[in-house]
Chain A
Amino acid sequence: MEEKRRISAPERILAALPFLALLVPLSVWLSFPWYAQAIIDRALKGKPFHVRISGVGIPGPSGVGFRRLDVSFTAPADSCVSSPTAYRISISGGKLGWSIRNPEGKTDPALFQADLRLDADSLRLNPDPAQYIFHDSRPKIDMRLEIRRRNGLSMEFMPSSIAYAIDSATVTREKLSLSGISYRILLTRSLNWQQPPDTLRIARLYSDGNPSPVGNFRALFGSKRDPLKPCKLLLSNCSVALFAMQADSDAIEYDLKDQSTRFTLRLAEIPLDSLPWFRSPVQPLRATGKLSGSIPIEFRDSTVLVRNAILAGEREAQIVYLDKREKRLFSIDLGEESKSKNILNNLNATIVLNSRNNNQAGIGVEHLSTLLFGGTLEMSPLLFDPLKSEYSLSLEMKDIRLLDRLRYHDAPNSAFKGAISGTIPLTYGKKGLVPGNLRLSSTASFSGIPVQSIPGMSSNRPKQPFADGSISGTLPIEYANSSLRITNGTIAATKGSALFFYDKENRKLFSVDLGTPKSNLLKKLNASATIKPADRKPRQFVLNALSATALDGNVQVSPFTFSLEDFDSGIPFSVKLDNVNIPERFRLHGDFKASLKGAMSGTLPVTVNRNGFAISNARLHSTGGGTISVTPTMPERTATERIFGAPTQDAHYTFSAPDLRFSRRMNGSTDIDFSLKELQRKTAGGELKLLLPKGSLSLWSDTKRPDVVTLRNFSAGFFDGTVEIERVDYDMEKKTASTTLKLNNIPLQKLLDLQGTKKVYATGTIGGSIPVTMTDQIIEINDGAMNAESNGQIIYATSPEERAAANQGLRTTYEALSNFLYVELLSSISMAPDGKSLITIRLKGNNPEFQSGRPVELNLNVEQNLLDLMRSLTIPTNVEQIISEKALKSGR
């Protein structure tokens, strides 16, 4: 208002016209939009600024709006910048507000102070030659002017300060963009228009619309230069987030002349647990410890060169893989305790910002190579496929010794070794980062893994471990085309490695020795498995092959396919054993000892599900055999007792050619059909041989009576005849059983031979059934019967001297028995629990040479304690004596 009055004041000619006095300011006011540009031109005359304004509104009392304001100015070339740069600032939808007042403590009446405030919808800054576009929405710029009225109409504008707080601005350079830029520009005349230091913040760098791993940049800088380095822009207290890790640099000097810089980013004590990869609630990956590193960077010509960057883990830095119960399972040691101190060193990379290569746009990584865990990692040049609109690259790995740092927490003494080599192709497009057809190979070796820590081998009773010892081995692994292949792997077990099986009272029952101090437990381990389809669920796992040389034989698993869902219903596969030397490794504990020989062969069809495993119609057989010895512990005996006392209770069972067919259901119920070529029982008292014993055993089949073992359809060759048991239920806890032994076709001579006499000869066979009841290992026989199956001959041979010495009755018996042709032989046997037994034998027949062959009937009763007989299975030698003393009963 004051200004308008001052403009109209010199028109003294028309001063008398009051209406004109009103009209002129009005017309000036109304025509402001048309001459605003002229005012600006005049005000900026001789200044290096060009301002174009359009769409100017009619000014209000404290401001004026405009549609667009273009300011252009040229920064001249100087010693730092070789060519001048033109800048154009476009402000649209702006409103310029002002307030004019006399400055405080005013001494000069011609001096005014104007505060201008520019609000706009947007501000753009375009340099020429085009390097970038700066864009800020809703900018607010404050400018203070000193206005001095000189003679007449002429006025001098003296800017005293400009303040522009940039907030959330962006800088775009073709496909690169920096977003979330903030910086407070404050230029004052009092500071000679030098920008005081302020913190520049850049929230994130985008490449082609995608966020890059670089963000959260901060640096403190102002416009004041070091007079010794006039062309260096100095940024201090710099920090940037690289892959979520905060990197710092105390100072970055940017050479304005060369447009280059060289500095080192420092990664100091970055807590690994602060990184987002180790904080996921769904991924079981955690990390502890801290990382440090340094990244020397050179920047020139839009190219970032990383030279010899280093990343090192501090002591106890680890990446941890947790199990389902959040317990540490595996970890990768990143700390300095490892042999090679650095995780990563000699990292070199060439990163082109705003690459104009046809194959890439935005940030292009042209080259990346590094030493990683003692090996090398190299990235191939990035390629762009215009048809698929995606980038591709591949990472080449060589001898990356990741396994050296692997720790298995269930086995603190375990160690791993191995280098990984291979190729990881990656594509980056609409679907994000997708790994392609991985090709990885490694020869992994491990040692000190306790057998107990292998899944399925752990025992919840620490005093009764299921397994002992530890394994080591080497597995050459290759992964390609979604297939995992192990070729010629070996696994060895330390001395003393064994699997244990316990009885009900937790006593060791038997064990299988796995120790292979000299040779390997598994050799030529070959396996091949495929996951398919790789991109769709449910995924199927195909085991194409699994075979190994184990204990001098071969083990082979049939190919099978399964998905994880199949664990509910069951996954069937079969294991084939060919001449595997398990029997030699079989050990019995307690009063038992086993010495077995020969290799096992057979097939085990197995079904595994979540609840356990089942075996259906497995068959295992061996051409070998062995001896199982039972040596009950006896109190210490003196030499005299050993010679004249009862014989030891030791029994040795020798068997050969076992052939087993067995099935196990998920509930543990097990049926075993067995046959042996021969089973021999040897005791101090004598031998018992069973030929081709076979039968069926059922274990744990009755859930109500889990201690009952049922033997069915047992038969064996016994002294050229057979012994059979139709069924016996043996209660392992009560040690009770009750059954009937059926004997058939037993040659009488064989039974007589057992007594060791040379005087009794017999032909013919006997058969019968013997009911046996066992209560707590005490045997009782109740009314067993053994009868001759056909006619035969019994000869009791006596010398003439014996006959001469005998009395009349006995001589008659001798004579009758010198060639007795029996037509009936009946015997019965009973034995009380204390071993007292009674055997009665009734013979009917004749001797053709005795009393003209008249029919004769003989009755013999044998009373004795049969326990010794049962133990030794020999007929006592006093039978002769008994026969001698029995009276002859004539059947006349």
Chain B
Amino acid sequence: MIGSFVRTTAAKTIIILMLSVAAAIPAFALDLATARSQGLAGEVDNGLLGIPPGAASDAEGLVVTINNQRRAEYAKIAAQNNLSLDVVGAMMFEKIYVRLPAGTWVQVKGQWKKKGG
């Protein structure tokens, strides 16, 4: 009983934190959105950004910067909820994914593909 209570509380907290992370991201949204729409950057299922195969390296700096920020945020969530960074990243990917426009590059289980319509 206690275990399930802790887990439920943790899940609620994560969702709240995720929303706040998502709110923080728009500072780069213009650039990131452009990079993603141009196929220069894609979303990876660990919650970080990646460079899709064959893409130019124009967005590399952007990707590193955003990933550093995301990692720092994820780490905070992970520390607060006693979770690993990977788990938090995977949950974040699911939130990010639903909001991605069709045609955006995504990498799931190591495979790059474009999000379907």
Is residue B75 contacting chain A, with contact meaning CB distance below 8 A? yes
A798 and B68 within 8 A (CB): no
A819-B68 contact in complex given A758-B84, A761-B85, C-beta closer than 8 Å: yes
Residues of A near B71 (CB, < 8 A) are: 761, 763, 793, 795, 819
Tell me if A's interface is mostly helix, strand, loop or mixed: loop
Give the number of residue pairs across the A-B interface with Cβ within 8 Å: 39
Nearest A-chain residue to B85, judged by Cβ? A761
Q: Does A601 contact B (CB under 8 A)?
A: no
Q: How large is the interface on B (under 10, 10 to 19, 20 to 34, 35 or more residues)?
A: 10 to 19
Determine if A849 is an interface residue (Cβ-Cβ < 8 Å): yes
Which of A763, A799, A819, A849 is close to B80, meaning CB atoms less than 8 Å apart? A799
Shortest A18–chain B CB gap in Å is: 161
Selected contact of B75 from candidates A797, A800, A821, A849, CB within 8 Å: A797
Query: Is A759 interfacial (CB 8 A cutoff)?
Result: yes
Per-residue 0/1 for A749-769: is the Cβ within 8 Å of any B Cβ (1 yes, 0 no)?
Answer: 000000000110101000000
B29: interface (CB < 8 Å): no
User: Could you mark each residue 817-853 of chain A with 1 if its beta carbon is under 8 Å from any beta carbon of chain B, else 0?
Assistant: 0110100000000000000000000000000010000
Residue of B nearest to A819 (CB): B72
Residues of A within 8 A of B78 (CB): 758, 797
Within 8 A of B (CB), among A757-783: 758-759, 761, 763
B79 at the interface (CB under 8 A from A): yes
B75 & A818 in contact (Cβ 8 Å cutoff): yes
B115 within 8 A of A: no
Q: Bound state CA distance, A11 and B13, in angstroms?
A: 184
> Which residues from A are CB-within-8-Å of B85?
758, 761, 797
CB pair B68–A761 under 8 Å, yes or no, is no
**Interface assignment of B95: CB less than 8 Å from any CB of chain A:** no
With a cutoff of 8 Å between Cβ atoms, the chain B residues found around residue A798 in the complex are 79
Q: How far is the CB of A586 from chain B (nearest CB, A)?
A: 36
Residues 65-107 (chain B) with a chain A CB within 8 angstroms: 67-69, 71-72, 75-76, 78-80, 82-85
Closest to A847 in B: B72
Q: What's the minimum C-beta distance from A850 to chain B, rounded to whole angstroms?
A: 11
Report chain A residues within 8 Å CB of B80.
Answer: 799-800
Whole-angstrom distance between the Cβ of A752 and the nearest chain B Cβ: 11
The residue in chain A whose Cβ has the minimal distance to the Cβ of B48 is A763
Interface size of A by Cβ–Cβ distance < 8 Å?
15
CB distance from A680 to the nearest CB of B (A): 21
Most buried by B among A758, A798, A800: A758
Q: Mask for A788-805, Cβ within 8 A of B = 1, else 0? A: 000001010111101000
Which residue of chain B lies nearest to A757 when distances are taken between CB atoms in the complex? B84
Nearest-neighbor residue (CB-CB) of B87 within chain A: A758
Q: How far is the CA of A795 from the CA of B84 in the complex (A)?
A: 12
* Of B75, B80, B83, most A-chain CB atoms within 10 Å: B75
Smallest Cβ distance from A133 to chain B, in angstroms? Answer: 111
| A797:B79 contact, CB within 8 angstroms | yes
Contact assessment for A761 and B79 in the assembled complex, using a CB-CB cutoff below 8 Å: no
Chain A nearest CB: distance from B33 CB in Å?
22
Q: A758-B84, A761-B85 are in contact. Are A799 and B68 (CB under 8 A)?
A: no
Contact between chains at B76 and A818 (CB < 8 Å): yes
Known: A758-B84, A819-B68, A821-B68. A799 touches B79 (CB 8 A): yes
Residues of B within 8 A of A758 (CB): 78, 82-85
Q: Do A793 and B68 have beta carbons less than 8 Å apart?
A: yes
Q: Report the bound CA distance from A793 to B69 in whole Å.
A: 10
Considering the chains assembled together, what is the distance between the CA atoms of A144 and B42 in angstroms? 144
- For B84, give the chain A residue with the smallest CB separation: A758
Q: What residues of chain A lie closer than 8 Å to B67, measured between beta carbons?
A: 763
Complex Cα–Cα for A797 and B83 (A): 11
A809 to chain B, nearest CB (A): 19
0 or 1 for each of B34-73: is its CB under 8 Å from A? (1 = yes): 0000000000000000000000000000000001110110
A793: which B residues are within 8 A, CB to CB? Answer: 68, 71-72
- A800: chain B residues within 8 A (beta carbon): 80
Smallest beta-carbon distance B10→chain A, Å? 12
Measured CB to CB, the nearest residue on chain B to A802 is B79
Is there an interface contact between A759 and B72, defined as CB atoms closer than 8 Å? no
Instruction: Report the separation of the CA atoms of residues A795 and B78 in the bound assembly, to the nearest whole angstrom.
Output: 12
Q: Could you tell me the distance between the alpha carbons of A763 and B75 in the complex, rounded to whole angstroms?
A: 13
- Measured CB to CB, the closest approach of chain B to A720, in angstroms, equals 14
- A818 cross-chain contacts in B, Cβ below 8 A: 72, 75-76
Q: Contact string, A844-868, partner B, CB cutoff 8 A, digits 1/0?
A: 0000010000000000000000000
Rounded to whole Å, the gap between the CB of B14 and the closest CB of chain A is 13
Bound form: Cα–Cα A759–B88 in Å: 13
Set A759, A763, A819, A821: member contacting B79, Cβ < 8 A: A759
Which of chain B's residues have a CB closer than 8 A to the CB of A763? 67-68, 71
State A316–B84 Cα separation when bound (angstroms): 87
* A761 and B80 alpha carbons, distance in the complex (Å): 15
Q: What residue of chain A has the Cβ atom nearest to residue B80's Cβ?
A: A799
A820, closest chain B residue (CB): B72
Q: In angstroms, how far is the closest chain B Cβ from the Cβ of A34? A: 140
Would you give the 0/1 interface string for A325-357, flagging 1 where the beta carbon is closer than 8 Å to chain B? Answer: 000000000000000000000000000000000
Looking at the assembled complex, report how far the CB atom of B74 sits from the nearest CB atom of chain A, in whole angstroms.
9
Residue of B nearest to A798 (CB): B79
Which A515-554 residues have a C-beta within 8 angstroms of B? Answer: none
> Which residue on chain B has the smallest CB distance to residue A814?
B79
Q: Write the nearest CB–CB distance from B81 to chain A, whole angstroms.
A: 8
Is B84's CB under 8 angstroms from A849's CB?
no
Given the known interface contacts A758-B84, A761-B85, the answer about A849 and B79 at a Cβ–Cβ threshold of 8 Å is: no
Q: Which of B82, B83, B85 has the most CB of A within 10 A?
A: B85
Chain B residues lying within 8 Å of A849, measured Cβ to Cβ, are 72
Instruction: Determine how close the nearest CB of chain A comes to the CB of B89; give it in whole angstroms.
Output: 10
**Whole-angstrom distance from the CB of B84 to the nearest CB of chain A?**
5
Question: CA A402 – CA B85 in complex, angstroms?
Answer: 83
CA distance A821 to B64 in the complex (A): 11
**Residues of chain A lying within 8 A (CB to CB) of residue B84:** 758
Q: Which residue of B lies closest to A760 (CB)?
A: B75
With both beta carbons as reference points, the residue of chain B lying nearest to A800 in the complex is identified as B80
A798 to B75, CA, bound (A): 8
- Bound form: Cα–Cα A793–B71 in Å: 9
Taking the closest CB of chain B, its distance from the CB of A738, in whole angstroms, is 40
Complex CA–CA separation, A761 to B84 (angstroms): 10
CA distance A821 to B72 in the complex (A): 10
Cβ of A835 to closest chain B Cβ, rounded Å: 31
Q: How far is the CB of B60 from chain A (nearest CB, A)?
A: 12
Write the A606-639 contact mask toward B (1 if CB under 8 angstroms, else 0): 0000000000000000000000000000000000
Residues of B within 8 A of A802 (CB): 79
CA distance A847 to B82 in the complex (A): 23
| Pairwise interchain contact A797-B76, C-beta atoms closer than 8 A | yes
Q: Which residues of A have CB within 8 Å of B76?
A: 797, 818
In the complex formed, the residue of A with least CB distance to B81 is A799
A759 to B79: give the CA distance in the assembly, Å: 7
Closest-CB distance, B59 to chain A (whole angstroms): 17
27 inter-chain pairs at a CB distance below 8 angstroms, sorted by A residue, are A758-B78, A758-B82, A758-B83, A758-B84, A758-B85, A761-B85, A763-B67, A763-B71, A793-B68, A793-B71, A793-B72, A795-B72, A795-B75, A797-B75, A797-B76, A797-B79, A797-B85, A798-B79, A799-B79, A800-B80, A802-B79, A818-B72, A818-B76, A819-B69, A819-B72, A819-B75, A849-B72
Interface residues in chain B, defined as those with a beta carbon under 8 Å from any beta carbon in chain A: 67-69, 71-72, 75-76, 78-80, 82-85
| 8 interchain residue pairs of minimum CB distance | A819-B72, A797-B75, A797-B79, A795-B75, A799-B79, A758-B84, A793-B68, A799-B80
